[in-house]
A and B are shown apart, each in its own frame.
Chain A
Amino acid sequence: MFEHRNVNKRLEKPSISPNEAADDIDDLELVDRARAGDDEAFRALFERYHRRAFSLANGVVRHRDDALDVVQDAFIKAHKHIGKFEGNSSFYTWLYRIVMNLSIDHIRRTKRSRNVEFNDALGHSESDSVGEESLLPRVLDENPGKSLVRKEMREHIGMALGELSDNHRAVLVMRELEGLSYEEMAQAMGCSKGTIMSRLFHARRNMQQRLLELMGGERDLGA
């Protein structure tokens, strides 16, 4: 059975614990304290989520210094506007929206959209259609997760991710890292659910195609 919600459990744990007590306090309590001016509480939130936020930003902007800028700006923005956080969603959901918006703004600003919407340009950028392409009924020779410890494998996957358009990569990273629903991604990216689905389909299809080219496939039943 396929795993329906691939939330990255590893990244949910705080990367550094400032102290034992902070770990035992839930996010909303920390938010309340931060709102009241308790900087240690805000720091505890930072320690809990900065690594995860960096993974998201780095997956989207694909430049470590730029991703650090994005995460830093996101936390400063979160601190500045924490009074507006109503607690309708989790603190991290609120934070990742800030991170995603800043990442997307960063991409737009730096005009790295060299391969912008190659697939979308074929007629489904803003439509709900996934077009005529189909997923490939092939799997890789190696388990990509386990093989990633090899430098060569990392480079291949990095290359394949880098060749995606920025929007395709953004939805793929959001989905695979955070396990967001189509609706949540649509809200975060300010587009329709159908567009998200189209982008995700083509992002995966292109990744699949490129990884098979780079790493080889073992079973091919014909597309």
Chain B
Amino acid sequence: MSDPTEEIPEVDYVEGTGVPVRGNDIDTDQIIPARFMKVVTFDGLGEFAFFDLRFDDDDNEKDHTFNEERFQDANVMVVNANFGCGSSREHAPQALMRWGIDAIIGESFAEIFAGNCLALGIPTVTADHETINELQQWVDDNPDGKLEVDVAAETVRYGDESVSVSVDDAQRQALVEGIWDTTALMKANRNAIDETAGSLPYVDS
């Protein structure tokens, strides 16, 4: 392989309109209920994002921003604390991505969830409670307003505001340098892998 990283796009910047999803501890069962996981591909998961929060038993729409017409084109989600806690299912970020989300701004993220997002090239950037509240309010008031998530500079610009946000160092580097596709990166180290395997007492070569 000549350059294992050549096909991995850089994600240093995401822009678009926002959608607020309020509440702490929104777990993966809420993001994508387990009954929608009985699939062998991720295609089509988008319509089931937040399903039980969006629909009642009779499939009537409930109050949820993902149901609102004005947010249908949004690609930047603004959430609160501990978003994505629960299971390691990648179906959760997959569902959000297929619904149209390209970046998430929040108070904090569950670790596996953030890792799963990174593997899809979706930045998960964080800011404090107040900043997020204001941002959610602004998005609510300006559903067509443009948000710019600058992963490299760790800022979010909206309206006349520019706020600083945090992006985990490794995540930022991976996104900005286009080295988030770890399969390609790691496959290039074939010899070193064999060497490590050979040094382990329990691995038969």
Bound pair: A and B? no
- State the A residues within 8 Å of B (CB): none
